[in-house]
Amino acid sequence: MSITDNILWFNTEFHQKIEIAIKNTPFTLDMLAAIAYQETGYIWGNLRKKGLSTKEILELCVGDTIDEPNRSAFPKNKSELLKATKGDAMFAIARQGLEDMAEKTGIKAYRDVVKNHPEKFCHGFGIFQYDLQFFKNTPDYFLNKDYANFDKCLEKCLEELTRGLKKVGLQNKTKLTDLEIASIAIAYNTGGYKPAKGLKQGYFDGKNYYGELFFDYLRLAHTVATPSASPLLPPASAGSAVIAAPTPITAQGTLFEVDVQMSPLMLRSEPKIDANNKNVKARLPDGHIVQAVTNQDVNGFLEVETNLLGAHFHGYVAKQYLKPATGVTNVPFISPAPTPPTSGIVAVYIPRKEGTVTKRTETANAHSLNEQGQPQRKGNTPEELRSELATIIDWLAVENPAHLRYQPRNGSTFCNIYAHDYCYLAGVYLPRVWWSQTALIDLAQGKEVQPLYGKTIDELRANDLFRWLRDFGLNFGWRQTGTLTKLQTEVNQGALGIIVARRVLEGKSGHIVAVVPETNAQTAKRNSAGEVISPLQSQAGSTNFRYGTKQDWWKGSQFAESAFWLHT
């Protein structure tokens, strides 16, 4: 059974009780489902396949046999438990629970523990895994097997989540983002949370951290419909990721229209002009709609929110370049097309002669790769998608001098080709060639156009890709995102991300990089608040690297503008 199948079972069985219990809290059903799956899904997912009743499953949701030296909390071992009041009775329950769970699930690791370690016992009890460290304060919960009662188990879980909510300083929030929910889950697991470490916190199973797995399950839980509601997000097809919807606009102020002529209006992070435009967050075109947050003028600037090509932005714009909007009741919300167009202006590739192969070891040309056995992205879970993207990166091996396709030569670099290849292998269209202006007119009129190099199609450089994404990206599933944190978060779910910058001088090359999933060895840079300040990147250019974190390169004075883009 898939993860989503198991989450659906959990929601169907328990959603009514959970929804009553979490009323007037910022916690959600999806959050509780993700915690339950993270803690004991491997147990109840297994037992469901064997046809056990819900009552039997709940009683067998025990686990965690780790003791000293890897455990410091009470009880570190059998001897310490036996010294506690009624410790012998507790050991008997904890040991029997381990033996019963191992037998019923057939999980080899637990069966081996039972067979070879008579001193071992369970430390976690219930579908949400309330830890035995609380035995001294609440002995009856364990001795009476209250953990097998979902209501009492849920009560303990919510107590710990409320404690975690306060621990991370979110006790005054009525609604939480996914990353905030994950921070509470990490505190639930570890007792604390360090923002600068992101999701790489909590128990490490040798491959993934608790925070990473929890976030995966939370995102998948968003795609599960329950008997009482529709799913928060649509499920993804194989080979694509589930990504969050753009942040909604919450501003309630006046709607304005951007009123400029010769240049875009700068949206800034603060109500002042920076001489080097370092505080520019976005460039808003003439006629763009924004909504005021407070309607209060601050140094000639107005605080606003808006949606630009699918991305939520919040910042300050010069009030003199705004005029009251007419004929609109809200900021237009633009979503990317769910599937690429099949008629009209469609994707195009340069035709190749039958039997020819385009290889990494050949110098760059306008063809896409078609080597035998080249990797693809086909997975159904975030972990599978991340692994497949890592395989693509390693297969492309952009820094390998034998891969002439990406090596700079004669003053030319090939960031555009590497970005195309990465996206192409991942099943996402980022053009290597595109239609000419005349061809676009004919296609828009429904005429048939043959792709002919130099006549109806031309190669695209990074500057051209910047404009293509702006003009056609939404039609092919791309959308902008407003922050590096959002960009890296979605990429870590197996999505595709790119940063592209257009040069001031058109004759000079722009630049485009892939933003790629973090690994245990390679991570993005975060500040003390947990915000990504430099995502994990992969690029060809003057320097080629599989993984790197070159910071703020897109803000260089040589670039006229830049943008962050996402694709499922």
State how far the Cα of 418 lies from the Cα of 400, in Å rounded to an integer. 13
CATH of 255-324, picked from 3.40.50.300, 3.40.50.720, 2.40.110.20, 2.30.30.40, is 2.30.30.40
Which amino acid, one-letter code, is at 66? I
Strand partners, 391: none
pTM, two decimals, is 0.95
Q: Does domain 382-567 fall into CATH 3.20.20? A: no
Query: What CA–CA distances, in Å, run from 326 to 29, 258, 321?
Result: 40, 12, 15
Contact 179, 214 (CB under 8 A): no
State how far the Cα of 122 lies from the Cα of 108, in Å rounded to an integer. 16
Q: Is the peptide bond before 227 cis (omega within 30 degrees of 0)?
A: no
Residues found in the chain: 568
Q: Is the C-alpha dihedral spanning 199, 201, 203, 208 positive or negative?
A: positive
440 Cβ contact partners less than 8 Å away, ≥ 6 residues apart? 345
* Helices vs strands, H then E, count in the chain: 15, 20
pLDDT tens digits in sequence order for the chain, 568 residues long: 899 999 999 999 999 999 999 999 999 999 999 999 999 999 999 999 999 999 999 999 999 999 999 999 999 999 999 999 999 999 999 999 999 999 999 999 999 999 999 999 999 999 999 999 999 999 999 999 999 999 999 999 999 999 999 999 999 999 999 999 999 999 999 999 999 999 999 999 999 999 999 999 999 999 998 877 899 999 999 999 999 999 999 999 999 999 998 899 999 999 999 888 889 999 999 999 999 999 999 999 999 999 999 999 999 999 999 999 999 999 998 899 999 999 999 999 999 999 999 999 999 999 999 999 999 999 999 999 999 999 999 999 999 999 999 999 999 999 999 999 999 999 999 999 999 999 999 999 999 999 999 999 999 999 999 999 999 999 999 999 999 999 999 999 999 999 999 999 988 999 999 999 999 999 999 999 999 999 999 999 999 999 999 999 999 999 999 999 999 9
For residue 329, the model assigns a pLDDT of: 95
182 Cβ contact partners less than 8 Å away, ≥ 6 residues apart? 199, 211, 214, 215, 218
- Which pair of tokens denotes residue 512? 């485009």
Which amino acid, one-letter code, is at 306? T
The structural domains of the chain, with segments of one domain joined by +, span 3-221, 255-324, 382-567
Q: Is the C-alpha dihedral spanning 556, 558, 562, 564 positive or negative?
A: negative
Contact 502, 463 (CB under 8 A): yes
Contact 286, 249 (CB under 8 A): no
State how far the Cα of 208 lies from the Cα of 198, in Å rounded to an integer. 13
State how far the Cα of 344 lies from the Cα of 338, in Å rounded to an integer. 16
Count of C-beta atoms within a 10 Å radius of residue 249 = 19
Which amino acid, one-letter code, is at 284? L
Question: What digits encode the pLDDT tens for the residues 46-100?
Answer: 999 999 999 999 999 999 999 999 999 999 999 999 999 999 999 999 999 999 9
- Consecutive H or E run containing 433: strand 433-435
Residue pointed to by tokens 């690297």: 545
